[in-house]
Amino acid sequence: MSIYQFAPASTFSYDYPYVTWTEAFTDEELNSIREIGLALGTSSALVDGGGNEEGAIRKTKVSWIACDTNTQWIYERLASVCRSLNSKFYGFDLFGFSEDMQFTQYESETEDHYVWHQDFTSSINTPRKLSLTLQLSDPSEYEGGELQVMTSSEPCGAEKQKGLIVGFPSWTLHRVTPVTSGKLYTLVVWVCGPNFK
């Protein structure tokens, strides 16, 4: 007789202007993603369309995690989360990832941040429809660096929790407040699909 135990069900929420998902990755896996991102070597992030003189819009360092035999498990796990969240909350017509995943490092020494923006880009031919951010740092490792979403007159800040995935439509206005102490690491992914009709 075969015995196969289901993994614990994830906890997800839609109490705010975004959705969340917990327990998609173990602590060891989160640390592994962080090591993969750092090993690639980070460089200053660019802003689509320019206009980021002296980090006025965005000041942070990034590297890009491509899908290969060593990272496919990350893509598969996040694809599963994307499908579940989209099915339950959005119902967008999606076909997957059209870009490498962005590993992001925010440092307090330079008060790294990203001002209010939307996740549009001219660098790909298909629209970003769903944006997801995976928190790779424990809240005890940094101060500031709050992911805030704006869908009304006041911003709503996401909970700081290592392993928490925050998702929202890519046209949603959002920002990361300056990191004032320590370092914050995240993994950002955009899910694309056909043009809206």
Distance CA 87, CA 169 (A): 13
- β-partners of residue 131 are 168, 190
Count helices and strands (H / E) in the chain: 2, 15
| Beta carbons within 10 angstroms of residue 82's beta carbon | 22
pLDDT of 125 reads 81
Tokens 């999606």 sit on residue: 94
Instruction: Please indicate, yes or no, whether the overall pTM of this predicted structure exceeds 0.85.
Output: yes
When pLDDT is cut at 50, 70 and 90, the band that residue 18 belongs to is very high
Residue ranges of domains in the chain: 12-45+58-192
* Architecture in CATH for domain 12-45+58-192: Sandwich (2.60)
pLDDT of 17 reads 86
Residues 126-143: what's their mean pLDDT?
96
Q: Strands, E, within 86-141: which ranges?
A: 96-97, 101-107, 113-117, 128-135
